[in-house]
Chains A and B, each alone.
Chain A
Amino acid sequence: MSGLDLLFLAVGLLTAASAVLAVTSRVVLHAALWLVVALGGLAGCYLVLGAELVALVQLLIYVGGVVVLVLFALMLTRHGNAPVQASAGHRVLAGVVAAGLTVLLGVTLTAVVGWTRVPVTGPDSTDIGTAIFGTWVWPFELLSLLLLLALVAAVAVARGAGSVEDVGAATEEEP
């Protein structure tokens, strides 16, 4: 077992442990903070496996963006340390979904790769850039169009049905 294997094991264990804590934590904000550790740990896994670009983007998008939005939403809606009460049915259902997904992913991976060791030689950021903006440029552009559509739709939803409360800026340009 090389030093890199050991490092991967440590980071993987950290990720798994914080992921478990994220779903078992009773205080929803603690769950979000454990999610930060889990996502950061996942970035560490990518880094150990040599996919540094994926690791950095993971950190930038998920830890710096998505989780910040989650925390922001929690601060807006939740009060204090009120614990979450999930019913037994919910817990069982969540456990079944998680176990099913794990089995599915595990079976797919072993079916594709088998039990042999595979050397970790990922492409570097130059290769990824060339692939995205060369071979896959059309899907990439379609994605940006999709995002633009979502943005326009969000604006339409936000100012479409003028409710009684928002008599501010929205009403000025209403037809």
Chain B
Amino acid sequence: MDLAFALEIVLKTAAVMAAFLSLPLLVGQTEHKVMAHMQGRLGPMEAGFHGIGQLVADGIKFVQKEDITPAGADRHVFRLAPAVALVPYLVALAVIPLSASWVAADVPASLLFVLAVTSVGVIGTLMAGWGSGNKYSLIGGLRAGAQLVSYELPIVLAAASVAMAAGTLSLTGIVGAWSPWWLLWQLPGAFVFLTAAVAELQRTPFDAPIADAEIVFGPLTEYSGLRFAFFLLSEYAGIVVMSLLFAVLYLGGWGGPWSDTLGPVWTLLKGLAVAVLIIWLRVAWPRVREDQLQRFAWTVLLPLALGQLALTGAGVVIWG
């Protein structure tokens, strides 16, 4: 291994790490402000200009808090859970391309890689739910498990439809094959993907696992300090990963005016728009009940995803 290659790996790792630490904060700050303005209030205003340093202040607060492990908890499982929830999104971020050349690790089947890696994150939530030794956590963990198993299938089917249309599993290849009328052709699949992604992230309206009015805070009830912050970070990192993935799969990624030089900016802008949409869903809709959530997955999303798959197949055969 020569020096230039080693240096390239180090630099790329540093860049992914920097993106992983800054983009979730950006989404978090956007959530503060977008939610506040949609609800006719100001949101955090004290820390820095228009409260821009609020999340940094929150971070400092979390570091100072005591890290408590409950006496009834399964110690190692409880302490390891936040890492298991967080790391998959870091790994997934490494293979998502911002432009044809701006990708940290260009693996051949990167779409499958992202889906496979993000599906591991559930284990962290389940570990937290069981390891806390708390009945609210357990109920939350159960809900999370049921929800994630149900929504895994529609998201994989919707992504499979895009892969079929592009004829490749590589994310860079998919953007290369993308054309504007995919916006219409893949519209049902895009709807399924976005909905299932919100459910996978356990965000409103699909936040039954952490429903604070019913089961305190679900699997996160017993967490405090940095470990709680890691769970929050994993939620926002999840939004970043899913938004960028949606932009790459359905919105043409880095396609746009001057895409040769401004490619990464376009990807990030499209991803940010999707993230704002996800935040908007939280403001606009109430939480759905557990049985409604399951029925929606199996009777609406799954048939839609299968229909999209058939539509894509027909399209590929006729025009391909």
Contact = CB atoms under 8 A, between A and B. Distances in A.
B106 interface: no
A45 interface: no
A16 interface: no
B74 interface: yes
Contact of A68 (B108, B112, B122): B122
A125 B107 contact: no
A69 interface: yes
B129 A75 contact: yes
Contacts of B112: 53, 56-57, 60
A162 B83 CA distance: 45
Contacts of B141: 75
B283 interface: no
B115 interface: yes
Contact of A59 (B77, B108, B120, B148): B120
Given A63-B120, A65-B149, A71 B130 contact: yes
B126 A68 contact: yes
Interface string B63-88: 00000000000100100000000000
B152 A65 contact: yes
A60 B115 contact: yes
Contact of B77 (A29, A56, A69, A75): A29
A124 B168 CA distance: 12
Given A56-B113, A59-B117, A71-B145, A64 B126 contact: no
A81 B109 CA distance: 40
Interface string A47-69: 00000110011011001110111
Interface residues of A, number: 27
B313 to A, nearest CB: 12
B228 to A, nearest CB: 21
B142 interface: yes
A80 interface: yes
A147 to B, nearest CB: 12
A65 B119 contact: yes
A30 interface: yes
Given A29-B130, A64-B152, A71-B130, A36 B123 contact: yes
A64 B126 CA distance: 12
A56 B116 CA distance: 6
A55 to B, nearest CB: 8
A115 interface: no
A56 B156 CA distance: 13
B145 A67 contact: no
Contacts of A69: 145, 149
A76 interface: yes
Contacts of B129: 75
Interface string B146-176: 1011001000100000000000010000000
A33 interface: yes
A23 to B, nearest CB: 18
Best-surrounded residue of A53, A57, A63, A72 (most CB of chain B within 10 A): A72
Nearest to B113: A56
A95 to B, nearest CB: 27
A1 B52 CA distance: 53
A152 B113 CA distance: 32
A65 B126 CA distance: 13
Interface in A55-108: 56-57, 59-60, 63-65, 67-69, 71-72, 74-76, 80-81
Contacts of B152: 64-65
Contacts of B138: 75
A52 B116 CA distance: 12
B133 interface: yes
Given A59-B120, A60-B116, A80-B133, 13 more contacts: A30-B74, A33-B77, A52-B107, A53-B112, A56-B113, A59-B116, A59-B119, A64-B120, A65-B152, A68-B145, A75-B130, A75-B145, A125-B109
Query: Which are the 3 A-B pairs with shortest beta-carbon distances?
Result: A64-B119, A72-B145, A59-B116
Interface of B: 74, 77, 107-109, 112-113, 115-117, 119-120, 122-123, 126-127, 129-130, 133, 138, 141-142, 145-146, 148-149, 152, 156, 169
29 contacts: A27-B74, A29-B74, A30-B77, A33-B77, A33-B127, A40-B120, A52-B107, A53-B109, A56-B109, A56-B113, A56-B116, A59-B119, A60-B112, A63-B123, A64-B119, A64-B122, A64-B152, A65-B149, A68-B122, A68-B126, A68-B148, A71-B123, A71-B130, A72-B126, A72-B142, A75-B129, A76-B142, A80-B133, A124-B108
